[in-house]
Amino acid sequence: MPPTTHERFFRVTLLSLLIASALATGLAAAAHHWQPNPGTLNRWLPALLCIAYVAQFFILWRSPDKLIGVVWVAFVTGLIGIATPAWVFSLQAWQPGAAPLTETLPPISAALLPFLLAMILFTPPRQLFRAALVAWAVIAGPILVWLIGHPDALLSPRGLDMLITLGPVTLMVVLFIPFHRGMEQRMDQLHQERARAQALAERDALTGLYNRRAGETFLSNMLAGPDDADALILFDIDHFKSINDNFGHDVGDAVLKEVAARCTTLLRKNDIFARWGGEEFLVLIRGSGEAGIVRVADDLRQVIGETPIESVNKVTASFGVARFRRGDSMQTWLKRADEALYEAKRAGRDRVVAG
């Protein structure tokens, strides 16, 4: 199955994030390499993270169907890559005689904020708030605890920056998640309401078929990329005025609904079936030669007339069919089908005529 638009968007976004993460960790690895005595963690962790992000990029590039798996691996990689130095350097800073955390800690906050924003984009809504809160606590927790336990370092410029960034600022991002979810739900609701309104605007209220306006739109679209195998059918119910006069409009409405339902069972999903007006209907068929379209029309004629409809007994319909011809406009194509339909009526009704 081909990927949806949303899947393609998320895949491209994740590929971009993986490249950005690989570049960032690669630059960090290079910077630590040129430092005197960078330490084991600083020497190896950025390089390993860079390799991991590059590997994930190529896996997703070659196998788009592994999107969900790569998302979770990327989250775990990012969490390990940020949380590990947060805990290691915090624990080392508690040791007697150790350098303050404000002097040794890598720029954790620069990585934590993009990590949380990526979580907002990729994590399922029901799991997002809890997962982001846990990630924030795991990463920022040991650093904030150390800062609170060392007031002198806390009041230094780096200490205040770490406190504000890892505390209120990052927590604001986490607390933004419920608002983000509410906005997503509202957008989904608006999208659904718009889809319902559009469906109502293009559907016939009685039969549930497309209405004439929608039928004309589909016909225009077909003419924008026509094919000699395209065809249309116009048909209407024979003596429908007599049905209304003799049995009432409620029965007439029931006949229209039953005819629409019977014909729908025979048509393909990609065929367009519209109520053209009153008792007249339009069918648009892609990829059907003249013999094929006559056969489709005759099948519709038979399914309408073969079983009596309650209250009115047998109901028949007359059909005019017209295959697309080069140079046809909407008017000329419909006119040939309409002339064929009236020829079917003049010839005695309950028949198919090709125009």
Catalytic annotation present for 279: yes
Q: Are 345 and 318 in contact (CB under 8 A)?
A: yes
Instruction: Map residue 278 onto helix, strand or coil.
Output: coil
Q: What's the one-letter identity of residue 119? A: M
Within 203-329, residue ranges assigned H as helices are 212-224, 240-247, 249-266, 290-305
Q: Any idea what DSSP says for residue 66?
A: G
Catalytic residue among 279, 280, 290, 343: 279
Tokens of 147: 């800062």
Quickly list DSSP for 42-64: HHHHHHHHHHHHHHHHHHHHH-G
CA dihedral 227, 229, 232, 233 (to 10 degrees): 180
Instruction: Map residue 308 onto helix, strand or coil.
Output: coil
Distances (CA, A) of 328 to 28, 78, 224: 66, 61, 11
What are the backbone dihedrals phi and psi of residue 97, each rounded to the nearest 5 degrees, phi first? 80, 0
Q: Are 114 and 18 in contact (CB under 8 A)?
A: no
Looking at the annotation, which residues are catalytic? 279
